[in-house]
Amino acid sequence: MKAPFWKKEKTKGVLVLASGEVFSGCLFGHIQEAFGEVVFNTSMMGYQEILTDPSYEGQMVAMTYPLVGNYGLNSQDFESRKSWVRGFIIREGCRFPSNWRSEFSLDEFLKAQQVVGIEGVDTRALTLSLRERGAAMGIISPEVSRLKELKEKAARLPGMEGQDLAKKVSVEKPYFWEEKTFAESNGRPWKVVAFDFGIKHNILRKLAAVGCRVRVVPAGTSAEEVLAYRPDGIFLSNGPGDPAACRYAVHSVERLIGLKPIFGICLGHQILGLALGAKTFKLKFGHHGGNHPVKNLISGKVEITAQNHGFAVDPASLKSTGLAVTHINLNDQTVEGTRHSDYPIFSVQYHPEASPGPHDADYLFDEFIVLMRKWREY
């Protein structure tokens, strides 16, 4: 008689950091060796959205919440076309998900997406290490007897600085986001061109909900190609990697400034800053989670935000760019939003579409409509 899967012998594995630290566990999902930058995420739910967020390309995600997979996964809640994480690190995986929308377990999902997972890891110790030492390159491997070799290999892994990953996750050809437009302006939707640096589906849903017909274009699209669509506004999406490495995107945005209203989120926020003369820098361990407090300096209100980024805009470099800081992170005072004094341009570092508040940041999409309306009337 065939043994049930939960009684099968587990495959032992290790997570080895570039610092030489070793965390033992058992592998699940697609059993293989994988490497990437190890970061921690403080969200208590939303693991499917995390696994399918293109901004995690090149990274292995450790969940701080101890039990993952309780409500399963389904084919409707993907944030992109596939999973992008290099590895998934958890304390305990649920083998019997329970939810009326559940279609498959975490283990089944990772197998199908060819992503390795490791459970049984002391994620508290791992998180403390990452907070103290910073995000680290690491390797997940079933070769538990090759620790010396794995440590040497991990120590040689290149970091995220200088890596252009936006083109890797971006679409190859332009397309229209086909979803019902719930609101229209003057009998027609707002025409928006969205740069896909790793765009999430819920951003597109939010834009459609406020009356936008969105044409999504590849990361390397030129300013001339964008203007040929005669858009009412331009959106710059989230995405992975080092914004300073996306020189092609910065160049395109430089040529679009002052010609159309522009709204940027996450990587798009950083690229917009670079295009206006600001600088970016690598955070120690990044912001990854759904509970980051951000203060809106204009309204004085505090928003509970979702975040996923490893780089930030340097506030000291904003002088003479025309950008004013509109939002700050209350945990570390980093820049979370900017607005230009002369041009119809604004951006935020966090993810308003992820709705952790749940509706704290929905006003940003309405503000984009206001800018496009003023521009059209002008």
Give residue 187's pLDDT.
61
Which helix (DSSP H) or strand (DSSP E) does residue 363 occupy? Answer: helix 363-377
- What is the DSSP annotation of 293-314? EEEETTT--EEEEEEEEEEEE-
Output the pLDDT for position 1: 43
Show Cβ contacts of residue 253 under 8 Å, excluding neighbours closer than 6 positions. Answer: 223, 236, 262, 271, 272, 275
pLDDT at 184: 52
pLDDT at 186 over 60: no
**Preceding amide of 352 cis, omega within 30:** no
Residue 330 has pLDDT above 90, yes or no: yes
Is the distance from CB of 289 to CB of 41 less than 8 angstroms?
A: yes
Taking CB atoms within 8 Å and a gap of at least 24, the contacts of 313-318 are: 313/269, 313/270, 313/273, 313/278, 313/279, 313/280, 313/338, 313/349, 314/278, 314/279, 314/280, 314/281, 317/273, 317/277, 317/278, 317/279, 318/273, 318/278
Lowest mean pLDDT among 184-198, 219-233, 260-274, 316-330: 184-198
Domains of the chain: 11-155 (3.50.30.20), 166-377 (3.40.50.880)
pLDDT at residue 238 is higher than 90: yes
pLDDT over threshold 70, residue 267: yes
Residues recognised as catalytic: 266, 351, 353
Q: Is the pLDDT of residue 378 over 80?
A: no
Q: What is the pLDDT of residues 188-213, one digit of tens each?
A: 789 999 999 999 999 999 999 999 99
User: Tens digit of pLDDT for each residue in 87-145?
Assistant: 999 999 999 999 999 999 999 999 999 999 999 999 999 999 999 999 999 999 999 99
Residue 196, beta-bridge partner list: 218
* HEC-encoded secondary structure of 204-254: HHHHHHCCEEEEEEECCCCHHHHHHCCCCEEEECCCCCCHHHCHHHHHHHH
For residue 3, what pLDDT band results from cuts at 50, 70 and 90? very low
Contact by Cβ (8 Å): 293, 330: yes
Of 187 and 229, more confident: 229
Q: What is the pTM of this model?
A: 0.94
Q: How confident is the model at residue 246 (pLDDT cuts 50, 70, 90)?
A: very high
Going by pLDDT thresholds of 50, 70 and 90, the confidence category of residue 182 is low
Tell me the C-alpha distance between 108 and 61, whole Å: 18
Query: Of 87, 91, 84, whose CA–CA distance to 138 is shortest?
Result: 87
Q: Which two tokens stand for residue 325?
A: 């800081």
Q: Is 300 left (phi over 0), alpha (psi -120 to 50) or beta?
A: left
Mean pLDDT in residue range 57-86: 97
Give me the numbers of helices (H) and strands (E) for the chain, helices first please. Answer: 10, 19
pLDDT > 70: percent of the chain: 96
Across the chain, mean pLDDT equals: 94
CA dihedral 315, 354, 243, 311 (to 10 degrees): 50
pLDDT band at residue 71, thresholds of 50, 70 and 90?
very high
Answer positive or negative: Cα dihedral of 335, 221, 352, 211: positive
Looking at residue 377, its pLDDT comes to 82
